[in-house]
Structure 1
């Protein structure tokens, strides 16, 4: 993603707050507060662009906690909180 829109930033903040899970798969689905995220396309982009990742290994299809990568933390650090 060249630029992060408001939704992508909100998704990163949810991951940073410990409210998100990813499925262990090639196209990881994102769940926030136990509910499937409405924009899985953006979730896939965040994972493939290396901004989020599973916090631990899991079996295929299993949901595990999501975490920000160093790049994800940097993306949040340069973005105003109100974005």
Structure 2
């Protein structure tokens, strides 16, 4: 996955971004962010960390064990939104 150029996002990462954009995801804080989709942990355990590090979703709030996941402006651009 490229951070600056999003052309190399995998299909899985695009699907995860669409789920975050649709409000279906929560993000758990801790030593590595855990992405929950529809209340279930994402099978790709590194997905939350990867998307946060790439700047595509906002990092979790360290004061909350689990909170809503939110997509960043870069994430929206990666999905083709203006």
TM-score, with structure 2 as normaliser:
0.81
Task: Name stretches of at least 5 consecutive residues in structure 2 with no aligned partner.
Answer: 3-7
Partners of 1:22 and 1:53 within 8 A in 2: no
User: Which is strand-richer, 1 or 2?
Assistant: 1
What are the equivalent positions in structure 2 for 1:16-55 lying under 5 Å apart?
16-54=21-59
Gaps of 5+ in 1: 79-83
Query: How many residue pairs were aligned?
Result: 76
Find runs of 4+ consecutive structure 1 residues off by over 3 angstroms: none
| TM-score scaled by length of structure 1 | 0.80
What is the CA-CA distance between 1:58 and the residue it aligns to?
4.8
Tell me which residue corresponds to 1:81.
none
